[in-house]
Copies of this chain bind each other. A is one copy, B any other.
Amino acid sequence: MTMKGREVILGILQESPHTGYEINDILQTRLSHFFDATFGMIYPTLKKLEAEKLVTKQQISQTDRPNKNIYTITAAGQAVFSKAINEPTSDEILKSDFLMHLYFSQDLSTEQVALFFQEEIARKEAKIAALQSQLATWLENGMTEQRKITFDYGIAYYTATLAVLKKAAKSNQ
């Protein structure tokens, strides 16, 4: 079984207590190249986890900022996470809307295809820049060797595909 939002959130809380807002931030910065999350998934999941007693909620009142809820993992939650992390990994899933458009692009104009290339190239470049700037922040707080690999994987992926796109965009002119 794949680790879903449920298990991923437990994994983050297993390191230290967090608010939903912070969980989103971690997901967006450190794991965004292999997992995607939205508030619309995070808050409902936290609510369910609390109902299942896998996490506990501590409400903090703040005056200058909105009140917040800090979630802490329970022993039961740790057991669920521990089981999930020990399960075999399942197949990676890539969904590329760009490649889908390219696959069916016979009827599109060269200009339209060129535009799609440009946009995808810009996205990859932005992702590389984001990952690389993230690495600096990350190294400051200390980073495990294994997390460094998830980073290297992302960079390798974006770099290799960017090269293919740039070459293809050139021959599309």
A positions within 8 Å CB-CB of B: 2-3, 8, 11, 14, 30-31, 33-36, 81-82, 85-86, 88-108, 112-113, 116, 119-120, 123, 144-147, 149-150, 152-153, 156-157, 159-161, 163-165, 168, 171
Q: How far is the CA of A171 from the CA of B106 in the complex (A)?
A: 46
Q: Which chain B residue shows the least CB distance to A31?
A: B103
| A95: chain B residues within 8 A (beta carbon) | 2, 34-36, 92-94
Copies in the complex: 2
Q: With A33-B94, A86-B112, A168-B152 known to touch, is A103 a contact of B157 (CB < 8 Å)?
A: no
CB distance from A11 to the nearest CB of B (A): 5
Mind listing 14 A-B residue pairs with CB under 8 Å?
Answer: A2-B97, A35-B95, A35-B100, A85-B101, A85-B104, A89-B101, A92-B94, A92-B95, A92-B120, A93-B94, A93-B96, A99-B150, A106-B146, A157-B160
Asked if B149 contacts A164 (CB within 8 A), the reply is: yes
Which of B94, B150, B160 interacts with A34 by CB under 8 Å? B94
